[in-house]
């Protein structure tokens, strides 16, 4: 049965390795920031434990014995390995590196994450990003994803997560359409308007439009002459005068900024579906991304008021490599 090495013997091996390399207890003590007597006692205890003499001692010299020379080479390898472990930990903290695999739904990946990646890469050139966009739910663990952004309830208990914030859904239309057809003041007035709707790729079901009326949320599925299966296509059709539709505010924000879309029925807008970043562990580049989720949270909350690139720059400016891990909040 293999016996586990104790802390005292490990200390003795370190003292022995330094003394053998430097040729004196005094020099070894200076390099280890301890007293010469402490080095001498550690070596003596090691010799007693091993049952051999490691040094030939005189008043003027300290010389390795034949047995000592053989063990000294092995002790040096142990010391070098310990130093390499320490250096690797320091490097991991100081400069993130490696591949960061991110999975996200198409809208969030296109409008929030992808525009922020060049700024992240400029700041941390040793981090490479593998962004995978898909509206289907992926198995993070099985597919080796480091961090994923998900919309909805997080059910996988194997994952670490942090809530970014709610997804705000609002009705939009182009100024030209509203000028021609009028602006509804209540969801009940949508009847008779042209609408554009979304069909979910995973289920084939039409998106149910939510409106907060009083203290409850009412959902409707209006008859739509235009149905698409990508969120960006919804707002593109609306901006072209296709009618009225529902979109997440962060998707519509660029169109609003350009004057191509106008929010309507804002008093009935709904915040629903939590947005979560989740991952397996916070190490290396994953820890860097953990800090970056704060920029996504600000952008999702402010909509068109703040661009993802600007927010990421703010986020990276106060990032520290040993920052907070992804954790439930």
pLDDT in tens, 22-43: 888 888 888 888 999 999 999 9
CB neighbourhood size of 228 (10 A): 18
Contact 75, 263 (CB under 8 A): no
CA dist 276 → 108, 113, 159, 290 (Å):
11, 13, 11, 11
pLDDT in tens, 115-137: 888 988 888 888 888 888 877 66
Rounded to 5 degrees, what angle do the CA atoms 186, 188, 193 make?
95
**Range from 64-68, 109-113, 145-149 carrying the lowest mean pLDDT:** 145-149
Output the six-digit token pair for 133: 């966009």
41 vs 203 pLDDT, higher one: 41
What pLDDT shows up at residue 183? 95
What pLDDT shows up at residue 91? 66
Could you give the angle at which helices 36-50 and 7-22 cross, rounded to 10 degrees? Answer: 110
Contact 313, 119 (CB under 8 A): yes
Considering 18-32, 92-106, 232-246, 311-325, the range whose residues carry the highest mean pLDDT is 232-246
Give the integer Cα–Cα distance in Å for 27 and 5: 26
- pLDDT higher than threshold 50 for residue 76: yes
51 vs 285 pLDDT, higher one: 51
Give the integer Cα–Cα distance in Å for 231 and 238: 11
- pLDDT higher than threshold 80 for residue 288: no
pLDDT above 90 covers a percentage of the chain that reads 29
**Is the pTM here over 0.85, yes or no?**
no
Residues 6+ apart with CB under 8 A from 108: 149, 151, 250, 275, 296
């Amino acid at each position: 049965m293999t016996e586990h090495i104790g802390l005292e013997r490990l200390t003795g091996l370190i003292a022995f390795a330094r003394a053998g390399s430097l040729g004196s207890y005094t020099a070894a003590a200076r390099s280890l920031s301890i007293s010469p007597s402490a080095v001498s006692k550690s070596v003596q205890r090691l010799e007693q434990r091993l049952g051999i003499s490691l040094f030939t001692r005189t008043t003027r010299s300290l010389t390795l014995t034949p047995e000592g020379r053989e063990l000294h080479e092995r002790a040096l390898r142990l010391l070098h390995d310990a130093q390499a472990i320490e250096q690797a930990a320091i490097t991991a903290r100081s400069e993130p590196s490696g591949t960061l695999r991110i999975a996200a739904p198409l809208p969030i990946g296109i409008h929030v994450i992808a525009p922020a990646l060049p700024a992240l890469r400029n700041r941390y050139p040793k981090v490479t990003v593998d962004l995978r966009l898909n509206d289907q739910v992926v198995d993070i663990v099985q597919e080796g994803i480091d961090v994923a952004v998900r919309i909805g309830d997080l059910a996988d208990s194997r994952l670490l997560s942090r809530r970014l914030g709610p997804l705000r859904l609002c009705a939009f239309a182009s100024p030209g359409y509203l000028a021609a057809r009028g602006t509804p003041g209540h969801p009940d007035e949508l009847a008779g308007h042209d609408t554009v709707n979304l069909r979910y790729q995973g289920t084939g079901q039409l998106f149910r439009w939510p409106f907060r009326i009083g203290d409850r949320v009412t959902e409707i599925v209006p008859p739509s002459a235009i149905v698409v299966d990508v969120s960006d296509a919804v707002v593109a059709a609306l901006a072209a005068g296709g009618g009225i539709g529902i979109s997440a505010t962060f998707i519509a924000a660029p169109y609003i900024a350009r004057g191509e879309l106008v929010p309507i029925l804002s008093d009935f807008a709904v915040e629903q579906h939590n947005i979560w970043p989740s991952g397996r562990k916070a190490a290396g580049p994953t820890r860097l991304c953990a800090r970056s989720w704060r920029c996504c949270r600000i952008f999702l909350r402010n909509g068109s008021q703040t661009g993802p690139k600007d927010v990421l720059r703010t986020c990276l400016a106060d990032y520290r490599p040993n920052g907070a891990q992804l954790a439930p909040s």
